Structure 1
Amino acid sequence: MRLERKISQVALSQSLGMSSSFVSHVESVKRRAKYNVNHLNEIAKIFNCSPKDFWPDLPI
């Protein structure tokens, strides 16, 4: 979604009020950083979508 909207990792991190490397850490498979429910809610506001868009329809 971030790439489709052409939003950089730094720009999204700053919009969330986090360090400029936060989103890159979340997106890296080598890091343990993950979004929490509050992050997802804020990202949904930025992307003008529902937080449900980030959850699977069926349990994993």
Structure 2
Amino acid sequence: MATKLTEIELYVIARVREIRIDRGLSQEKLSLALNKGVGFIGDREAPSKSAKYNIKNLNEIAKILNCSPKDFWPEEAI
């Protein structure tokens, strides 16, 4: 049984999505840039899935999106 994502995990997923869209990258292109399967990002952004990012993923995504990993986190604790 899949575990439910926490509020902070959902926030980070939403921020990655927002920045990805702002940079004009599709889910597939970002997945491939990470050397992952084409559905890697889509699995994380799908509300019905419980896939989440790890720290290494976020660091690599930040490099590709030309931002800081801190950009994915809220200003205050959730």
Give TM class, smaller chain.
Answer: over 0.9
Equivalent-residue separation in structure 2 for 1:4 and 1:56 (angstroms): 18
| Runs of 4+ with deviation above 6 angstroms | none
Q: Tell me the residue number matched to 1:44.
A: 62
State the number of aligned residues: 60
- Write 1 or 2 for the structure with the bigger share of helix: 2
Q: Report % sequence identity.
A: 50
Listed as ranges, the gaps of 5+ residues in structure 2 are 1-18
Name the aligned partner's letter for residue 52 of structure 2: K
In structure 2, the partner of 1:6 is: 24
TM-score (norm 2): 0.73
User: Residues of 1 paired with 2:61 and 2:25: CA distance?
Assistant: 11
Specify which structure has the bigger relative contact order, considering alpha-carbon pairs within 8 angstroms and separated by 6 or more residues. Answer: 2
In the alignment, what sits opposite 1:20? 38
